[in-house]
């Protein structure tokens, strides 16, 4: 059987994944841990064939950072990121660190198991796009990549000047992007824009 490690800090999501795995005849659930910081240790103490791992886990540990380390030490171990966060940079980062597949928790059991089967068969499975999220009067796909970069720094609490310096933009360009997003969303000010974006999970800044 194929040994599965689950890395998930949300009790309900973790239990659901365990039910999916235990109901399958080809997969063996060997362990569940709450933090990605423990994932590499689990790989050293158990024979792990595939890891189902969230991005944001307990102990403020990133599943993507853990995946990068695990792939260096255990290149044959398959890693599937399964998250509820629609943060637009996660998929790009997952590709960069060598994650085998990436999917969303909102999927049904059949979809999760299908991604698992395809990954173990050697496929790399990624969604074609992030989920569409409503943000005020608009949807996430109506924001440009550059606007999302500014929004991520805004969510982190950075000033316009700090954003300009970090993203190599003029202050005027930063203000223009913020004004454009406020116009699209209908939010009254930059604070409301940042708060609503954080609540939606559209962008996350792990500073």
CATH of the domain at 96: 3.40.50.2300
7 part of a folded domain: yes
Number of domains into which the chain is organized: 2
Residue 131 has what pLDDT? 75
Place of tokens 């059987």: 1
113 part of a folded domain: yes
Same domain, 83 and 6: yes
Cα separation, 123 vs 111, whole angstroms: 14
207 part of a folded domain: no
Query: What is the b/e burial string over 150-159, where b = at least 16 CB atoms within 10 angstroms of the residue's CB?
Result: bbbbbbbebe
192 part of a folded domain: yes
Same domain, 153 and 98: no
Count of Cβ atoms closer than 10 Å to residue 122 Cβ: 8
Count of Cβ atoms closer than 10 Å to residue 11 Cβ: 10
- pLDDT at residue 73 above 90? yes
Strands 50-53 and 56-57: unpaired
Domain range holding 94? 2-120
Residue 55 has what pLDDT? 93
Domain boundary among 69, 85, 120: 120
* pLDDT tens track for 2-42: 999 999 999 999 999 999 999 999 999 999 999 999 999 99
Same domain, 34 and 88: yes
Query: What is the b/e burial string over 170-190, where b = at least 16 CB atoms within 10 angstroms of the residue's CB?
Result: eeebbbebbeebbebbebeeb
Domain boundary among 120, 155, 173: 120
Cα torsion angle, 148, 152, 153, 155, sign? positive
29 part of a folded domain: yes
User: pTM of the full predicted structure?
Assistant: 0.77
The pair phi, psi for residue 54, each rounded to 5°, is: -80, 165
Query: Helices (DSSP H) in the chain: which residue ranges?
Result: 11-22, 39-45, 63-73, 89-97, 109-120, 145-155, 160-166, 171-185, 190-200
Same domain, 99 and 142: no
Place of tokens 């309900």: 12
82 part of a folded domain: yes
Residue 206 has what pLDDT? 53
Query: Which residue(s) pair with 38 in the sheet?
Result: none
* pLDDT tens track for 101-146: 999 887 688 899 999 999 999 999 999 877 778 899 999 889 998 9
């Amino acid at each position: 059987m194929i040994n599965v490690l689950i890395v998930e800090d949300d009790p309900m999501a973790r239990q659901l994944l365990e039910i999916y795995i235990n109901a399958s005849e080809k997969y063996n659930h060997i362990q569940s841990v709450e933090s990605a910081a423990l994932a590499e240790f689990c790989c050293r103490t158990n024979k792990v064939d595939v890891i189902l791992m969230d991005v944001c886990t307990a102990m403020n540990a990133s599943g993507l950072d853990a995946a990068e380390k695990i792939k260096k030490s255990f290149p044959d171990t398959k890693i599937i990121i399964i998250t509820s966060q629609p943060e637009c940079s996660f998929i790009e980062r997952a590709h960069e660190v060598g994650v085998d597949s990436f999917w969303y928790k909102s999927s049904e059991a059949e979809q999760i198991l299908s991604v698992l089967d395809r990954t173990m068969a050697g496929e790399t499975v990624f969604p074609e796009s992030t989920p569409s999220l409503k943000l005020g009067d608009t949807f996430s796909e109506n924001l440009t990549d550059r606007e999302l970069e500014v929004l991520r720094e805004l969510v982190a609490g950075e000033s316009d000047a700090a954003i300009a310096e970090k993203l190599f933009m003029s202050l005027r360009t930063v203000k223009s992007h913020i004004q454009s997003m406020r116009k699209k969303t209908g939010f009254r000010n930059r604070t409301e824009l940042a708060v609503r974006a954080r609540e939606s999970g559209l962008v996350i800044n792990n500073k």
